[in-house]
Amino acid sequence: MQGLHDFIPTEEKVNYLNQLLKVGFHTLDFGSFVSPKAIPQMRDTAKVLSQLNLEQSSSQLLAIVANQRGAEDACQFEEIRYLGYPFSVSETFQQRNTNASIADSLGRVEAIQKLCLKHNKQLVVYVSMGFGNPYGDPWNVELVQNWVNVLAEMGIKIISLSDTIGVANPQIIEYLFANLIPPYPDVEFGAHFHTQAHNWEEKVVAAYQNNCRRFDGALRGYGGCPMAKDDLTGNMPTENLVYYFNGQKEELALNETALQDSLAMALAVFPQKTTI
């Protein structure tokens, strides 16, 4: 929702998220504690949270934060289990996304990690532009490996590689996960892919076959990152992930009826022009 210009009413957000909570996803990224000037769509996150039906759901909540202040706000809510922070390996994108340098951003990671430990939360660090960037900033797999090493040494236990603009190919995905996962058996590595309709599966296959077991998706692939480029490259469609992992005989334990109802509801919540 974050990149949509027209504000989605709080009640509509609540109804949609409550429907998603019925499906049985492990984690639901439900909102962001960020500047309302930067992301107006997320200004009602606290109000949305107060109306979620969590008693009958096994899903855990994740909130995105961009700085220590946002993390402090999020930590006030016991219902939130995870804080997500976008740490970019592209200097340009880090400035655009969080108004900070990479060096400053690393300091934020350290501060947010301390808050998480204090408040019994867990920090998820998204390695933004992890597969390349459109700005001409330096990028190579060794650079990504270096920053992952730094984050792991800071005690970060969940690190999700983010293909922010949809440029990852199977060869790069395979190389990164094959080399990053084995040295850190106590770190959970994830794949946050943005994609187009014709190449989603090859990305999932490359990550899955190299032992990635954490995948982010959005129903029908809606959305993208509004700070990355003028046009949005859609998120990985959740229903595509479900289709693939069912084919791999993974036990997803999802309520299929609730999933289909959620897919139908998404058509009404999101403007159709945002599809990829």
Supply the CATH number for residue 127's domain. Answer: 3.20.20.70
- Which residue matches tokens 């997320």? 42
Residue 1 included in any domain? no
Give 8's contacts (C-beta < 8 A, 6+ positions apart).
1, 41, 269
pLDDT at 225: 54
Residue 267 included in any domain? yes
The structural domain count of the chain equals 1
Average the pLDDT over 209-213 and give the result: 97
pLDDT at 60: 98
Query: Measuring CA to CA, which residue among 167, 107, 112 is closest to residue 134?
Result: 167
C-alpha–C-alpha distance, residues 178 and 86, integer Å:
22
Burial class from Cβ neighbours inside 10 Å (0-12, 13-18, 19+) for residue 261 reads middle
Q: Just list the catalytic residues.
A: 225
C-alpha–C-alpha distance, residues 63 and 38, integer Å:
16
Give 165's contacts (C-beta < 8 A, 6+ positions apart).
129, 132, 133, 134, 194, 225, 228, 229, 233
Residue 2 included in any domain? no
Q: For 34-48, write each residue's pLDDT tens digit.
A: 999 889 999 999 999
Q: Is the pLDDT of residue 275 over 70?
A: no
pTM value is 0.92
C-alpha–C-alpha distance, residues 125 and 106, integer Å:
11
Residue 47 included in any domain? yes
What whole-number percentage of the chain has pLDDT above 70?
A: 95
Q: Is the pLDDT of residue 100 over 70?
A: yes
Residue 3 included in any domain? no
pLDDT at 231: 46
Residue 5 included in any domain? no
Task: Please give the residue range of the domain that contains residue 114.
Answer: 10-274
Q: Is the pLDDT of residue 242 over 50?
A: yes
Q: For 167-206, write each residue's pLDDT tens digit.
A: 899 999 999 999 999 999 999 999 999 988 889 999 999 9
C-alpha–C-alpha distance, residues 51 and 10, integer Å:
10
Q: For 14-37, write each residue's pLDDT tens digit.
A: 999 999 999 999 999 999 999 998
Q: Is the pLDDT of residue 226 over 50?
A: no
Mean of per-residue pLDDT scores for the chain: 92
pLDDT at 165: 83
Q: Is the pLDDT of residue 229 over 60?
A: no
